[in-house]
Amino acid sequence: MVEQIDYVEFPSTDRAATSAFFSAAFGWGQVSYGPDYDGLEGAGIDSGVDQGEGKVGATLAIVRSDDLDDAERRVLAAGGVITRAQFDFPGGRRFHFREPGGNEMAVWSARD
């Protein structure tokens, strides 16, 4: 099982302005997934802009895993603290955690 960071999520108080900034500054495209979320295209790694109520306060690195439950057990065993329990989103399921140094991250898995 190879687990790698494969998604970066940018929190925003103004999704449209953040997406427009990335487009103007770097030429990244966007795909709207509703009023609170844009996917970014051409950023070098899959990424998105999140304006939703439950967004995190800092940029979020997201690790992909083939086995979400096993990844959660290993995160806890290594000293991580779950900050958001597993939840569904378009395309899969994920949970958020804080590693011992204070960084919030997430792990996701595609739907079976």
Q: What is the pLDDT of residue 100?
A: 87
Confidence of residue 1 (pLDDT cuts 50, 70, 90): low
Q: What is the pLDDT of residue 103?
A: 87
Residue environment code for 66-101, b if the CB has 16+ CB neighbours within 10 A, otherwise e: eebeebbeebeeeebeeeeeeeeeeeebbbbbeeee
Residue 8 reports pLDDT greater than 80: yes
- What are the chain's domains? 4-110 (3.10.180.10)
Cβ proximity of 8 and 40 under 8 Å: no
Report d(CA 63, CA 18) in Å as an integer: 23
Rounded to two decimals, the pTM is 0.83
pLDDT digits (tens, 9 = 90+) for 16-27: 999 999 999 889
Q: What is the pLDDT of residue 56?
A: 81
Confidence of residue 71 (pLDDT cuts 50, 70, 90): very high
